[in-house]
Amino acid sequence: MNISLALVTGGNGFIGSNLCRHLRERSLPVRALVLPGEDTALLESLGVEVVRGDITADLPTDIFADVSHVFHLAAIALDWGPWQSFWKVNALGTHQLLEAAIGAGVPRFIHMSSLAVHTYDGHVDGDETTPADGTINHYAVSKRLAEECVQAGADRIHVTVIRPGMVPYGPGDRLSIPGMVDALRRGLYAHVGGGGQKVCLVQVDNLCDGMVLAAQRDGASGEVYVLADEVVSWRQFADAVADAFSLPRARRSVPLWLVTALAVVMESVYRALALSGTPALTRYRASLFRGDLVFSSAKARRELGWRPLVGLEEGMRRVRESML
């Protein structure tokens, strides 16, 4: 089904803003839902219609007018924080948005999920059928609940679930690359357990291409697609970041057991003292290095015809240009 008007929740976020750009580059009309008070200059420069609102509250009555596809990206994507916040936004917010879309007669709903729905105990060739059993933090549990909610509505609206690669990166990234660049520049970055564990990535332009293909696909409601474009080791990924920013490659390594132990201690201290902010290490971050985290996108390539065009070197060049 062709997109006549896309509603993008979380349109001001990293992936959301890039998706808005991709849709506009295809001359498709886009309406973005953003929180009150957020700077929307970038979206407006792209010709995006901006609507202020919150998926956890009453939405503007006309937000779904003429919308053919809802791309639901709004979420709290952190590895630490109170359960109430994750449940309210990621789980309850998804439920309320889905029900509102169904009530408004919107034909299609595309839900941005996460590979965090899985337990990170080593995946050499995971895919869409890998059990969604992640419990390591509130984010993982809330994203599982959100997926379950969306699937429960699959008989009332055509839904598609997207699970992007473990590390989405690209222009506008505020989480992964900036922190790595800062640590590399200050000589603080260290590999964990040698950095040889493999991980699946996804460059944001490739991800957006896949999302647009998935949104317009034929076929049954409720399908899940992993969109991961490249598999590298954590060391190779860190080296690519260092090379792109002309920084020295990291040489030091710390054992996984030490990182895990420190994460447990830090989380315990934060809980016991009710400290604000986020621990420097969490069990979630340590779990990323427990083993390979490779999920196949064979289904998306086969059923959607998805062909990622941006490789790691070019992807890093685009990140660097966006940060200059």
pLDDT at 222: 98
Q: Which of 163, 161, 55, 51 is nearest to 108 (CA)?
A: 161
Is 24 domain-assigned?
yes
Supply the pTM of this predicted model. 0.96
pLDDT digits (tens, 9 = 90+) for 129-162: 999 999 999 999 999 999 999 999 999 999 999 9
pLDDT digits (tens, 9 = 90+) for 26-68: 999 999 999 999 999 999 999 999 999 999 999 988 999 999 9
**For position 117, which CATH number holds?**
3.40.50.720
pLDDT digits (tens, 9 = 90+) for 169-219: 999 998 889 999 999 999 999 999 999 999 999 999 999 999 999 999 999
Is 236 domain-assigned?
no
Is 215 domain-assigned?
yes
pLDDT at 324: 80
DSSP H helices, the chain, are: 14-25, 41-45, 83-86, 93-103, 138-152, 176-185, 204-215, 234-244, 256-273, 283-287, 298-303, 312-323
Is 128 domain-assigned?
yes
Mean pLDDT of the chain: 96
pLDDT digits (tens, 9 = 90+) for 304-317: 999 999 999 999 99
CA angle at 44 for the pair 42 and 49, rounded to the nearest 5°? 135
The one-character DSSP state at 147 is H
Is 237 domain-assigned?
no
- Give the pairing type, strands 167-169 and 69-72: unpaired
Q: Which of 32, 25, 28 is nearest to 11 (CA)?
A: 32
The one-character DSSP state at 13 is S
Is 269 domain-assigned?
no
In which domain, by residue range, is 108 found? Answer: 6-165+199-230+294-301
Is 13 domain-assigned?
yes
Is 204 domain-assigned?
yes
Please count the structural domains in the chain.
Answer: 1
